[in-house]
Amino acid sequence: MKIFLTGATGYIGKRLLIQLLNGGHHVICSVRDARRFDTTMYEEFKDQLVVTEHDYNDAGTMKPVDKDIDIAYYLIHSMTSNADFSKAEKVSARNFSDIIAKTDCRQVIYLTGIVNEQALSKHLQSRKDVEKELKSESYALTVLRAGIIIGSGSASFEIIRDLVEKLPVMIAPKWLKTLCQPIAVRNVIEFLTAVIAKEYTYNKHFDIAGPDVLSYKEMLMIFADERKLKRTIISVPVLSPKISSYWLYFITSTSYVLAKNLVDSMKINVVAEENDLAAKLHITLLSYRESLRLSFDKIEQNDVLSTWYDSFGNYRYSKNVWNFLEVPVMGVFKDRKEAEIIDEEMTMQKIFGIGGNNGWYHADYLWTIRGLIDKIFGGVGLKRGRKNRSSVSAGDSLDFWRVLYSSKQEKRLLLFAEMKLPGEAWLDFQIKDGKLIQEATFRPVGLLGRLYWYSVLPFHGYIFKGMIEKLIHG
């Protein structure tokens, strides 16, 4: 079949794409910027894959879609982008529906959240509104409403992991008593692929969830039990939503906007209505514990395919980091260091393994302090880490950097800073003619940018000198 896939660079989209390609489908991946789609991951499927660009928030930029598509997936989500995400989501869904209606598409499959309560958070209400926007007489709509998704790299898994592994004692809000019904990401992908062309799913919605109904507190304690950690959770009624949001923001790798919307949603029970879809599709639902164990296995095997923080919010798109692939040479400050290579293989491994749990090889405590400062000022901090210990691809997040270019063949890794800065910053590693060239570039904005550079210059001298020595000598 010919399938149109939106959100192909997102957490679910990346995993779904592999399954669709393995299933022999021809897939058109609709992305906002083709430069961040890593085609090298899909070399064996190059005859089945086409990448096209669409910005669903701007109808004027929409390109026609191939008329002969059979199935389309809508996996676009704007919750992390800005305070007015609900309006953006409606516009996006409407524009998507308009272009798909002009094709021969028989079925649109939409993944959303469980929305069974009368009073919904702004986030869940937005998801329900999108569902209405996607309905059309031109195609059938199949809606899968998922509970909290648990899998290596998922937002829920990473937030739970941060809380449990970092806090022996948690003083938490009363919403930890709220009930939810988590589902394994493996089951989500099974549902998404199994409903293709199933006419009994047309123009219907189905709740998809695992077998366990748990409170958030129970989820945290089960996670701790699986990790063999002793944890104490004290629920208090006095934490306001704003304080709760800041609590999540500083402890976990989430952004403040996402933390705020999550807190709003966590006050509402997310429990599935019973249906027989799993039985009809022959899907075996995994328990919460089984989901956690599969996630741990993927992490231990260094086999995490996608992470939620690899997705770009609208803020980053408005800045369009891909316009920064060319490192500027005019009007910038640079810290350039060169050193003769002793063991190229070892240096390459360290370059492409930098950050995350591997650290930055020198003065990690200063990187930690910088990450904390970034969090205080509303930045991403260092908690995002990296999804793979030994390799990175263009578009990956790496602590508070974004990978712009990664090529072991060309022996180059280029990072762009996503921390809060009065300017733009790059960190470039290249091996040429037997030498390692390590170059930090900063383009300041105004007087504040220049003052910032000179204030951190003594630290840069210490950090970058030690870093290149570690990259060369190990």
Domain with 376 in it: what CATH number? 3.30.530.20
Query: What's the total number of domains in the chain?
Result: 2
Same-domain pairing of 99 and 42: yes
**391 in a domain, yes or no?**
yes
> What are the angstrom distances between the C-alpha of 210 and each of 133, 147, 213, 247, 397?
28, 8, 8, 28, 30
**Amino acid (one-letter) located at 45:** F
The rounded distance, in Å, linking the Cα atoms of 61 and 55 is 7
Same-domain pairing of 181 and 81: yes
Let me know the angle formed at the C-alpha of 51 by 54 and 141, rounded to the nearest 5 degrees. Answer: 60
Same-domain pairing of 275 and 346: no
Last residue of a domain, one of 256, 282, 299: 299
Query: Is the separation of the CB atoms in 179 and 268 below 8 Å?
Result: no
Domain with 271 in it: what CATH number? 3.40.50.720
Average pLDDT over residues 412-422: 92
pLDDT digits (tens, 9 = 90+) for 326-340: 898 888 999 999 999
What pLDDT score does 376 carry? 82
Mean pLDDT over all residues of the chain?
86
**173 in a domain, yes or no?**
yes
**142 in a domain, yes or no?**
yes
Same-domain pairing of 381 and 271: no
Same-domain pairing of 295 and 375: no
Average pLDDT over residues 206-225: 94
Last residue of a domain, one of 253, 279, 299: 299
What pLDDT score does 314 carry? 40
**319 in a domain, yes or no?**
no
Same-domain pairing of 290 and 331: no
Same-domain pairing of 295 and 355: no
Closest CA to 209 of 149, 152, 130: 149
What pLDDT score does 317 carry? 40
Closest CA to 219 of 169, 185, 179, 165: 179
**451 in a domain, yes or no?**
yes
What pLDDT score does 378 carry? 76
Closest CA to 314 of 73, 56, 51: 56
**455 in a domain, yes or no?**
yes
Same-domain pairing of 20 and 157: yes
For residue 471, name the pLDDT band (cuts at 50, 70, 90): very high
> b vs e for 58-97, b when ≥16 Cβ sit within 10 Å of the residue's Cβ?
eeeeeeebeeebbbbbbbbbbbbbeeebbebbbbbbebbb
Same-domain pairing of 338 and 269: no
Same-domain pairing of 446 and 363: yes
Same-domain pairing of 334 and 284: no
pLDDT digits (tens, 9 = 90+) for 241-264: 677 677 677 777 666 666 666 666
**225 in a domain, yes or no?**
yes
What pLDDT score does 171 carry? 80
Last residue of a domain, one of 281, 299, 317: 299
The pTM for the full model equals 0.78
**314 in a domain, yes or no?**
no
Supply the range of the domain harboring residue 453: 327-473
Same-domain pairing of 340 and 288: no
Q: Which of 158-172, 173-187, 189-203 has the highest mean pLDDT?
A: 189-203
